[in-house]
Amino acid sequence: MYYYIKTFGCQMNENDSGLISTLLKSNGYLPCATPDAADIIIVNTCCVRQSAENRALGFIGSLKSLKEARPELIIAVCGCMSQQSDTAEILQKKYRQVGIITGTFATALLPQYIEDYATTGQRIIDIEARYDHKEIGNICPEPNEQQAYRAQVNINFGCNNFCSYCIVPYVRGRERSRDPQEIINQISCLAACGVKEVQLLGQNVNSYGKDMPEAGWDFARLLEQINQITGIERIRYMTSHPRDFNRRLAETIAALPKVCRHFHLPVQSGCDRLLTLMNRGYTTKAYLDKLAMIRQLTPDAAVTSDIIVGFPGETEEDFQQTLGFIQQARFDAVYTFIYSQRSGTKAAEMPHQISAEIKNLRLQQLMAVQNPISLARNEELVGTVQEIMVDGISKNNTVMMSGRTSGNKIVVFPKSEGLKAGDLVKISITAAGTWNLSGAISENIDS
Ligand code: SAH
Ligand code: SF4
Ligand code: F3S
């Protein structure tokens, strides 16, 4: 039997798809490259913005004809979108081709549901919220076939922050940390399989351990332990909530050589009035103070952020404050999002929703201010030597290779025969663009 998984959304979902894949393989199923060739199609969905939901629904809709042509085909929909009861109901009623509907708490149960459905043909729906720590158990997912040197590992699940615009706490449940020993064992096992870079995942990694205070663990201590694992050369993590980012963590990171010099600290808005309405729990001043602390402790760090435009009630003046803020912060890159109304969240009920036209205009204006800053930040690296981890042959140009700096910037350089994905190499940076850098292998081995 062949399976095909289509994944929408963030690293959480990618990681969940990896887990489903590992479980299916251990049950004897084989992956295949297209939905047409599959006996089982799994759609792992995201609902963070309407556009993500539309893409998933479009894909599920397109499977109708496949199911009609091959009635024995099994179609399962899982992930964040189906965790919402109203969406699960729509899927049930309007998408008859879907045989299995599971939410984010039932990821590890999906392979069993597939077996059950294959024998009974009875529709299965499981969107119950469970807090039994069985999300991933002790399974050590195989390293990704395309990227055997890099792996993602969940350290905590869920979110307690309830930012007023965000659906994630409703579909991923309350915050819970994984057992530290289980995390360390999993990373050691991945390192033994050749993984060199580990990406620690959580909606808010900074609150790791808060739900198990008696154990005395926090994110800084976890990083210290992971830094000691032989074979692991780089440690990344996402996402950090600015409110919970503190000096102890910044100092720990500065002292740990394997932890990458990249801080992704989503600010969401540069206007204090909106930050309060968003329920973010910090002011622009508090944020800028933390930014200054990071730059003082790790001067070579890259800092990136997320910003939402068109939050309900955002006035022109509020928006101008955000533009002023990003000029002051000088981020290396900003991921910009148009506010999307998510039913069930507080912001969805707020007055003065902003028109699509203004939202689009503000997005363009924001990028017009940020792009030259990103370019200038990248230009500051021209003439330096950066250690990069090789990702492989460049996607756009087969005579080039690409890799990433510790600050997570993409560097393109002429292909070198001896190099393979996962190798660390020193590159002299010769040119910068808004989105990437280019260079050549550094001759100076001392640098
Ligand atoms: N837990 C992470 C990220 C969650 S979602 C964090 O707090 O940083 C990733 C990004 O999507 C968020 O940082 C936010 O900028 C954006 N986002 C979340 N909900 C959104 C919405 N309703 N509309 C537009 N963007 C949204
Ligand atoms: Fe959403 Fe806020 Fe939680 Fe991030 S911290 S997942 S933005 S509620
Ligand atoms: Fe989307 Fe769920 Fe991630 S809503 S952004 S896939 S946590």
Contact by Cβ (8 Å): 171, 103? yes
| Any atom of ligand 3 within 6 Å of the Cβ of 46 | yes
What is the 161 CA–ligand 2 centroid distance (Å)? 6
Which ligand is the nearest neighbour of the Cα of 307? 1
pLDDT above 80 (res 139): no
Residues 6+ apart with CB under 8 A from 69: none
pLDDT value, residue 168: 97
Ligand nearest to the CA of 82: 3
The pick from 84, 308, 336, 354 for probing ligand 1's pocket by mutation, whose C-beta has the most ligand atoms within 8 angstroms, reads 308
Tokens of 343: 């039913």
Per-residue pLDDT at 56 exceeds 70: yes
State yes or no: pLDDT of 136 exceeds 60.
no
The pLDDT of 86-95, averaged and rounded, is 93
Model confidence pLDDT, tens digit, residues 59-83: 999 999 999 999 999 999 999 999 9
Which of 11, 48, 175 to mutate to test ligand 3, by most ligand atoms within 8 A of the CB atom? Answer: 48
140-260: CATH number: 3.30.750.210
Look at ligand 2, atom 4, and give the residue with the nearest C-alpha: 203
Q: Which CATH number fits domain 263-380: 3.30.750.200, 2.40.10.340, 1.10.3720.10, 3.30.499.10?
A: 3.30.750.200
Question: Is the pLDDT at 113 greater than 80, yes or no?
Answer: yes
Residues enclosing ligand 2, CB less than 6 A?
159, 161-163, 166, 168-169, 203-204, 241
C-beta contacts of 390-396 below 8 A and 24+ residues apart: 390/419, 390/420, 390/421, 390/422, 390/423, 390/424, 390/425, 391/147, 391/421, 392/420, 392/421
pLDDT at 148: 85
| Minimal-distance CA residue to ligand 2 atom 1 | 166
Q: For residue 146, name the pLDDT band (cuts at 50, 70, 90).
A: low
Structure confidence at residue 446 as a pLDDT band (50, 70, 90): very low
Least confident of 142-151, 189-198, 235-244, 276-285: 142-151
Say what the alpha-carbon torsion angle 320, 325, 331, 333 is, to the nearest 10 degrees.
Answer: -20
Establish whether domains 2-126 and 263-380 are of one fold: no
Q: Which residues line ligand 1 (CB under 6 A)?
A: 48-49, 165-166, 168, 203-204, 239, 241, 266, 268, 306, 308, 337, 339-340, 342
Q: Point out the ligand nearest to the CA of residue 162.
A: 2
Instruction: Report the nearest-CA residue for atom 2 of ligand 2.
Output: 163
Q: How far is the CA of 291 from the centre of ligand 2 (A)?
A: 20
Q: Give the angle subtended at the CA of 377 by the CAs of 373 and 380, to the nearest 5°.
A: 140
Nearest to 329 by CA among 301, 349, 310, 354: 301
DSSP 135: S
The number of the ligand nearest the C-alpha atom of 340 reads 1
Q: Is 437's C-beta closer than 6 angstroms to any atom of ligand 3?
A: no
CB of 47 within 6 A of ligand 3: the answer is yes
Asked if pLDDT for residue 17 goes beyond 70, the answer is: yes
Pocket test for ligand 1, best of 10, 13, 48 (most atoms within 8 A of CB): 48
In this prediction, residues 337-343 reach a mean pLDDT of 97
Q: Does domain 2-126 have CATH number 3.40.50.12160?
A: yes
Q: How far is the CA of 67 from the centre of ligand 1 (A)?
A: 34
In the DSSP assignment, the letter for residue 404 is E
Task: Output the CA 344–ligand 2 centroid distance in Å.
Answer: 14
Smallest CA separation from ligand 3 atom 1, residue? 46
At 373-426, the pLDDT tens digits run 999 999 999 999 999 999 999 988 889 999 999 999 999 999 998 899 999 999
**Three-class secondary structure of residue 20 per DSSP:** helix
Domain ranges of the chain: 2-126, 140-260, 263-380, 385-446
Q: Say whether 446 sits in a helix, a strand or coil.
A: coil
Q: C-alpha angle with apex 394: 392 to 399, nearest 5 degrees?
A: 100
- What is the CA 253 to chain-centroid distance, rounded? 20
CATH superfamily for domain 385-446: Nucleic acid-binding proteins (2.40.50.140)
pTM of the complete model:
0.94
Which pLDDT does position 147 carry in this prediction? 66
Q: How far apart are CA 428 and CA 447, in angstroms?
A: 10
Over the chain, what is the mean pLDDT? Answer: 94
Predicted confidence (pLDDT) per residue in 248-270, tens digit? 999 999 999 999 999 999 999 99
